[in-house]
Amino acid sequence: MKMRENKVFPHRTTRCYELTETAQLPIMLDIRASTRDAVAMPYSYLEMIQYDPSVAIVITFAVCEVRIEGRHLAELYAALTEHKVNYIQENDAKYDEVPESSPFIESIEITPLGRELQLMVKGFDPERESLQAPQSSEGEPPD
C-alpha cells in the first residue's frame, strides 16, 4: 500500500506510529498532533502509561499528560511500555485509508501538569513568542 503524502507536514505519513528498527532504543518520543508541529518528550520523564481499549492511552510524563484516542492501539501501548516508539502521530479522518483492523490515532491531546508549560498545549511560534521572560528596562526580568 502506498502511503499518502501529507501536504501540511511533509515529514508525516498515514502511519500513526513508528517503531525503532535498531537495537538502540529512542531517547525521546516525538508527538505529532494536528494543531501544532511536533513536541518531543524524553522517555526518562515517563512515569506511567494507562490503556483502556474502549477509551484511550494516557501517558503521564513528569511535565505533562498525553491522551491518545483511536482504534486498535494495543500494539502501540505494548511498544510504548518498552520505549520502542520513535513517534506517534494524529491523523485526519479524511486520510483514513488504512484497514479498519489497523491502528489509527484520531486525536492526541497534551495537557501540561504545570502552568509554566502552557507552550506545549498552545503550540509555539518563535516568530510571535519568545521563550525568554520579558526584560525590564534595566535588563532584569520583571517581578
The pLDDT-based confidence of 13 (bands split at 50, 70, 90) is low
**Which pTM value belongs to this model?**
0.67
The CA distance from 73 to 52, in Å, is: 9
Q: Which amino acid is at 91?
A: N
Joined together, the cell numbers standing for residue 9 give 507536514
Most confident of 21-35, 50-64, 104-118: 50-64
Biggest alpha carbon distance in the chain? 61
What tens digit of pLDDT does each residue of 38-49 get? 789 999 999 999
Instruction: Answer for the pair 76, 16: CB distance below 8 angstroms, yes or no.
Output: yes
